[in-house]
Structure 1
Amino acid sequence: MTTDAASTGAPQTEDRLPFDVRLVPAAAVCWSITAIGILGGPGAALAATASAVAVVLLVAVALHGMSVRRGRPSSSRSGAAAVIVLALCFGGSIWIQMRSLAEHPVAAAAENRAWITASVQLEEDPRRLTAPGPATVMVKAEMTRVDVGGEAWHVGGRVSIIAPQSSWSALLPGQVVTVRGRLGEPIRPDMTVAVIRTSGPPVTVNEPGTISAAAGTFRSNLAAVAQNSMPPDRAGLLPGLVVGDVSRLDETVSDNFRAAGLTHLTAVSGANFSILIGAVLLVLRGVGVGPRATVAVAFVVLVAFVIVARPSPSVLRAALMGSIGLVAFVTGRRRQAVPALCGAVLGLLGWWPRLAVDVGFVLSVFATAGL
């Protein structure tokens, strides 16, 4: 004898469904349009948007026809309309940005390998490069003012700076520096305007902000404690496992992790956030703090950890998913990983479209989806 929800009086809920995949088409379409626009330029963005809208319309018509033949109501029209609106918004946005990038004056100067003096704000910690020759680092930065051939422009745009490790490795995100170097075309299509190669230290360096300095002090202190209390090969690993700082990681250990396919352990991801936020929720709820106050404190801790660990693609994805989970916790809504992941993808691509072609972001999203 079998019973169903109607016969037993139990409320019918969607909890029986293992996954809520309603946001998956929107995330896939918007991600595809953004990636194609970045890799192919403004024309490719328009073509991808038009193709995506046509495909969505065809699928919606086919699903509606199937539902009519079966005599069942269908929500394909409203779902398709939402996907089309998002596709048009993402397509229009990436078209405007790629058009602006193609017409950027620094991009034209990079084709001629011109010399440049630029005032830039660093976006990340300098990352050590493994290229042969003198030790060098690469750092991403946002331009605020450039001087090319005696002509000054107050323009924005993202650049990659390749510089000596000895004079650049101690700089912190948020610092404003002046760099003198030679322009080159972008290494890869990631919405970077140009590459600046310099062989000397920054011309001028401003002091870091209070928050950036505090985060840098925390990372330095963690590394110093590890160096003073652990063997050298393990001392460089601990900061990587905790906050993703691999600047002191031994080359042999790094090669071993790469050979074993375990390099993801030294990148901050959802596991770090789960442990941290889980501990905060457990302690605060255990001492009787209310759910709203608990979520507020957990959110502050989450933001602080993002600042300390640096907002890399995997960190941003995990942080946004964690924020969605905290909102669900305080509102009493069901917490499902797939809608949270898709919401994180849409939110991050809307704010930072360059993540669509970032290998770290791609691997982070697909690894989370697989789990």
Structure 2
Amino acid sequence: MIDLRLAIPAAAAWVTLVLSLPVPEAVPVIATASGSGGLALVGTALLGQRRRWRRRLVSALSVAALALVAASAVTVVATLTAPHRTPGLLEHRATASVVGTVTAAPDRGAGLLRILVTQVTARGGTTEVRMPVLVTGLDAQPVGQASELPRIHDRVRVDGALSAADAGGDLAAFMTASGPVAIESRAGGLDGAAATLRAAFVRVASTLPGDGAALLPGLSVGDTSAVGGTLDGEMTSAGLSHLTAVSGANCAVVVAAVLVVGALLRIPRLPRLGAAGALLIGFVVLVTPEPSVLRASVMAFVALVLAALGRPVRALPLVSLAVVAMLLFDPWLARSFAFALSCSQRPASSSSLVRSQRSSPA
């Protein structure tokens, strides 16, 4: 029998965000109403359990309470983060200078760059923010050497015209660049090491013949900067667009490789699961946390923890936990098509591999 006890709260949280985020003023109202309703149902369920009501009725009340609490939690997070994500200066188009961190490989062909902006200077003032912005118009700017181009997690400054995106979308604003991107600092620490490794892989892959030189970096380390518009269109027409970038399936491959090799080497179960978790975290840092990768990695990590504790590992509860965790981290993912597509994929691969490890001592 399919266990829906976590799927229903996850669906409730997701649907609530999809419907409420386009109407920002409704979000705090929904957060308060759903929270109050959830607490009321929790009290009713506890009362029913004490008075020995029918088990099915108590279970239904508990699931409904959890659904309302989940909806309240994600809308509370959205309410608290909205002022930093959509500041008042976005009410009208403005010439601005923004500073932020590159979150995805630049699309050189289309002249696009995604950054998480942390500082906006406009209309004579500077505002601290945290908003995802898509920079356009970079194809009209002079392009320097490859070493001068921004990489993922670099801190950059861009000048241009800043305008708000549609309410509720996964982007907070658009910016049309009026000049080239200025790199303020390169990624450091673990992010810097990952960027260096990605760049080295891209250099090696560039020596390959044909389209493989452009496709391999995206499929392996998440760098799609070499995939031009023509190649991307051809892959989409052939139904192979999933091969142009890293997806959640790569997480399953990483976990499977560690678990299988560990089993062949007769490494004990707990160290084997721990090694799989550590390598999974490193892999996510290397390829950057795209929605599908993030969803799959959260699922796989929870599955590894449950397996280590000797608890049953099932696919639907896993994806439900991953959805709620990611929506709490970023409520606007609920309206991301890439996130929806990644969650609709069959989630059984990682969970079935990890499940097989629970009964394997060596």
TM-score, normalization: structure 2?
A: 0.81
Correspondence for 1:120? 100
Partners of 2:150 and 2:183 within 8 A in 1: no
Correspondence for 2:132? 158
2-structure distance, mates of 1:329, 1:155: 40
1-structure distance, mates of 2:34, 2:129: 34
Is the partner of 1:39 in helix, strand or coil? Answer: coil
Correspondence for 1:137? 112
Distance 1:124 1:233, change over 3 A: closer
Distance 1:106 1:70, change over 3 A: closer
Is the partner of 2:211 in helix, strand or coil? Answer: helix
Partner deviation per Cα, 1:40-69 (whole Å, 9 max, x = no partner) = 212156358748987997xx99xx9xxx99
Deviation (angstroms), 1:24: 1.1
Partners of 1:244 and 1:267 within 8 A in 2: yes
Please point out which of 341, 347, 369 is paired with 2:319: 341
Distance 1:72 1:155, change over 3 A: closer
Partners of 1:101 and 1:107 within 8 A in 2: no
Q: Write out aligned runs for 1:147-296 (5 A).
A: 147-165=121-139, 166=143, 170-186=149-165, 189-190=168-169, 192-228=171-207, 230-249=208-227, 251-296=229-274
Please point out which of 67, 76, 95 is paired with 1:92: 76
Structure 1 stretch 77-86 or stretch 336-345: which is displaced more? 77-86
Question: What is the letter of the counterpart of residue 114 of structure 1?
Answer: A
Could you tell me which runs of 5 or more consecutive residues in structure 1 were left unpaired when the two chains were aligned: 1-16, 131-135
Question: What is the letter of the counterpart of residue 223 of structure 1?
Answer: V
2-structure distance, mates of 1:363, 1:43: 26
Percent identical residues: 29
Could you tell me which runs of 5 or more consecutive residues in structure 2 were left unpaired when the two chains were aligned: 350-362
Is the partner of 1:180 in helix, strand or coil? Answer: strand
1-structure distance, mates of 2:69, 2:228: 49
Larger radius of gyration: 1
Please point out which of 23, 35, 40 is paired with 2:23: 40
Partner deviation per Cα, 1:258-297 (whole Å, 9 max, x = no partner) = 1122212323223211111111111123222222222221
Partners of 2:273 and 2:308 within 8 A in 1: yes
Q: Write out aligned runs for 1:308-347 (5 A).
A: 308-347=286-325
Question: What is the letter of the counterpart of residue 137 of structure 1?
Answer: L
Deviation (angstroms), 1:71: 9.0
Distance 1:368 1:24, change over 3 A: same
TM-score, normalization: structure 1?
A: 0.79
Structure 1 stretch 309-318 or stretch 241-250: which is displaced more? 241-250
Matched, 1:27 2:1: no
Q: How large is the Cα RMSD of the aligned pairs?
A: 3.1
Partners of 1:37 and 1:95 within 8 A in 2: no
Is the partner of 1:348 in helix, strand or coil? Answer: helix
Correspondence for 1:11? none
